[in-house]
Structure 1
């Protein structure tokens, strides 16, 4: 594909598939398929968005001249280095410029869950690093095409329930305000790693499984806004919107950079089953096919990246960490989630979704880092705040 045609893509995208659905594709495994096989899989499923957790040159090269839009990542340990504008320019010149525009890099994640990282020293580097990376993109003329942000754990919230009570933790408010100012000035999204699974696992006797899984259920009504929520993910997203509004930033888009449900877990990981994983991801897929928005922003489709493409056998932590994949390392599907609907005509009824053999010739997992901070216990508040919306 010529550079002229590549640049034209950015102005008039016309890609098949569900535009608001992406997938997390990592490399933490010793039995993973090569990137060309992964590209074949994504293409067969008509998935057009993927997120990786580094800037693996083999992946970036392989995905050139494809319809896959990529979000790439600056690893956490690099933040103190790229605070220096010259180092940031060197990073962009080395890791982005050689591949763009043939490889459709649409976003750069600067770190992952820095606001809640155990290494609190990194937080001071975050916004300066983000500004430096964006400045480097601007110097070579790519800031118009590549957004810069950072994925956040839901644990960054002090209050998350009801959604209208959403607020950020006080200890991050200063850095968060600076971050939101950057997002507002550049039109970049706030990325959140949101896992209803964590909330259900921690309080299975208090939280409805159907509500967490996006199954049919009575839902809940926010007592202040009177908005009705029929699933926890949308409530979590809107809590973030309200939290940003409290700091004076009501117009920033929220995108879900990770969400998923494990198909297997340890004995104490309640709800980690194949049936629940299939239900959550299948329900989410159906909603994405309808380009749904949240109750607070019903006319803005919610962009979601599923976690994850593969099970990853080298991920540390509990059993669930290695079992978020839609596919097994040997190429078989982990469970029927219905992705084949993306490979058929847009008139396919979501009710008849089923995974076909065209998607079963898969590959093996590669790593991702999902939000490993426990879901903060939900709390009510007795005061209604102005949201600024």
Structure 2
């Protein structure tokens, strides 16, 4: 019991201090042995409550924990099995993972991992789902409900880069599919724990330089505005795929590569907002904020659904080198871990999913499409940005230091609440 009180003193300094006050020490000394023994069953019951797996469905899931996530694409025949991927992600301490489908072997592999998984409804399903809510219901019953709450499915993407493309029927179907997926989640009482969203490419913007001049394309806004109305009503963010690499590749003569790589450079000045940008990533996010503001959605948050840099490419793909990929991803990770906003929205902490976990050797298109991976197929790092990859642990998983316990658990709101309630109970019992 004394050891437990010492642990509480470390975790909850102010409340535990009361337990060690002179008055409470006197009460502890004066309490009879039989009285303390009678309190022990109740005491240990509440102690056990501290360590229950509250994340197993009791609390509402969060669509994004922290600021850093990774896209886990699988268009490859040489990458590790999903179970090994979970081990890799936990070793790298990456909490947020996004996949582009709802593969059951992947969802099952994440069972009990504590990782936050976003799954995807492919574009091929949207037209049917837009006209028939039961199709959306069937999809959720098949691909979501059976895996809850053991697998933390915190979000569902409805389509990918639909708007700004060439398929007008698909663009028309997107809003209906989103509404029907949300309605199905509501009927299953899952809408409060699973966030739905749709990632957009830069093709939805008419222009993005300087950031303050960015607006949505008129032909895109016809389909986008109802979606923004819906997401604004439900507090969902606007997700955009932001790739400084693609911008640099398209115009290497006029874009400073240091500006694209978060390296030292003169940056750009936006005269309308009187803001200075020293990197393209922030400028792209603020361009999205400017477009939303012009469209009337000042309060909507912008998050990045994809960003990355290719480590190899064809001869005409400027900047696709291992050095540049390492520089971009290292500096991006460092920037995200600072948990800061952008020049236009300094209080809106930037959150992003990096593309991608592995090089995908079967992806079509230019060579760069197959060289975005942070990790090799064997689980080792492609280049050093601070990850360790797969490696054996020298410590027993059952032995957790106070420092680790504080970092892993005490930062979670539910742990603080339960710990505080337990201390209040102890104080009451000891009076």
Residue 218, structure 1, aligned to residue 266, structure 2: yes
Aligned equivalents of 1:10, 1:62: Cα separation in 2: 21
Give the gaps of 5 or more residues in structure 1.
341-354, 360-389
Partner of 2:87: 40
In structure 2, the residue matched to 1:140 is: 188
Aligned: 1:58 with 2:105: yes
In structure 2, C-alpha distance between the alignment counterparts of 1:334 and 1:120, rounded to whole Å: 39
1:100 to 128, 144, 148: 148
Equivalent runs, 1:154-165 vs 2, <5 Å: 154-165=202-213
Higher mean Cα deviation, 237-246 or 34-43?
237-246
Asked whether the equivalents of residues 355 and 373 of structure 2 are also in contact (C-alpha less than 8 Å), the reply is yes
Question: Over residues 162-191 of structure 1, what are the superposed CA-to-partner deviations in whole Å (9 max), with x where a residue is unaligned?
Answer: 111110111111111101001101111111
Cα distance, 1:336 vs structure 2: 1.2
Distance change in 2, residues 1:55/1:199 (3 Å): same
Match for 2:166 among 118, 127, 134? 118
In the alignment, does 2:376 pair up with 1:332?
no
2:116 aligns to what? Answer: 69
Q: 1:91 to 1:357 in 2, by over 3 A?
A: closer
Q: Tell whether the 8 Å contact from 2:108 to 2:151 is kept in structure 1 after alignment.
A: yes
**1:254: which partner in 2?**
302
**Counterpart mapping for 1:207-286 below 5 A:** 207-286=255-334
Residue aligned with 1:33, SS: coil
Deviation at 1:244, TM superposition (A): 1.1
**Contact 1:82/1:91 (<8 A) preserved:** no
Which of 334, 337, 346 is 1:289 aligned to? 337
CA RMSD, Structure 1 to Structure 2 (Å): 1.9
Shift of 1:9: 4.1
Q: Report the structure number with the largest CA radius of gyration.
A: 2
Deviation by residue 1:35-92 (Cα, 9 ceiling, x = unmatched) = 1100000000110000000001111111011121011100001001111111111111
Partner SS state of residue 164, structure 1: helix
Offset at residue 2 of structure 1 (A)? 7.9
User: How far apart are residue 356 of structure 1 and its match?
Assistant: 9.0
1:208 to 1:357, Cα distance in 2 relative to 1, 3 A:
farther
Q: Indicate conservation of the 8 Å contact 1:44/1:358, yes or no.
A: no
SS class of match (1:109): strand
Give distance in 2, aligned partners of 1:328 and 1:45. 14
Deviations, residues 118-164 of structure 1 (Å, cap 9, x unaligned): 32220000011001001110001110011111000012100101111
Asked if 1:23 is matched to 2:70, the reply is yes
Counterpart of 2:306 in 1: which secondary structure?
A: strand
Q: Which structure is higher in RCO with an 8 Å CA cutoff and minimum separation 6?
A: 1
Instruction: Establish whether residue 299 from structure 1 lines up as the match of residue 347 from structure 2.
Output: yes
Distance of 1:233 and 1:4 partners within structure 2: 36
Normalization by structure 1: what TM-score?
Answer: 0.84
Larger displacement relative to structure 2 (329-338 or 185-194)? 329-338
State the secondary structure of the residue aligned to 2:69: strand
Structure 2: gaps of 5 or more residues: 1-50, 394-431
Q: Does the 8 Å CA contact 1:312/1:329 hold for their aligned counterparts?
A: no
Q: Answer yes or no: is 1:188 the counterpart of 2:217.
A: no
Match status 1:127 vs 2:127: no
Kept after mapping to 1: 8 A contact 2:87/2:390: no
Q: Name the one with the larger helix percent.
A: 2
- Residue aligned with 2:163, SS: helix
Q: Which residue does 1:173 correspond to in 2?
A: 221
2:149 is paired with a residue whose SS is: coil
Q: Render the CA deviation track for 1:188-231: whole Å, top value 9, x for unaligned.
A: 11111110011111111111101001112221121100111111
8 Å Cα contact 2:55/2:114 also seen in 1: no
How big is the shift at 1:5? 4.6
Provide the residue aligned with 2:96 in structure 1. Answer: 49
Partner of 2:358: 310
Q: Separation in 1 of the partners of 2:320 and 2:344?
A: 30
The counterpart of 1:7, out of the listed 50, 54, 57, is 57
**What SS does the corresponding residue of 2:289 show, helix, strand or coil?**
helix
C-alpha separation in 1, matches of 2:298 and 2:330: 31
* 1:6 to partner: Cα distance: 1.9
CA drift at 1:289: 1.2
Distance 1:228 1:139 in 2: 47
Instruction: For residue 93 of structure 1, report the CA deviation from its aligned partner.
Output: 1.1
The CA deviation at 1:332 is 3.1
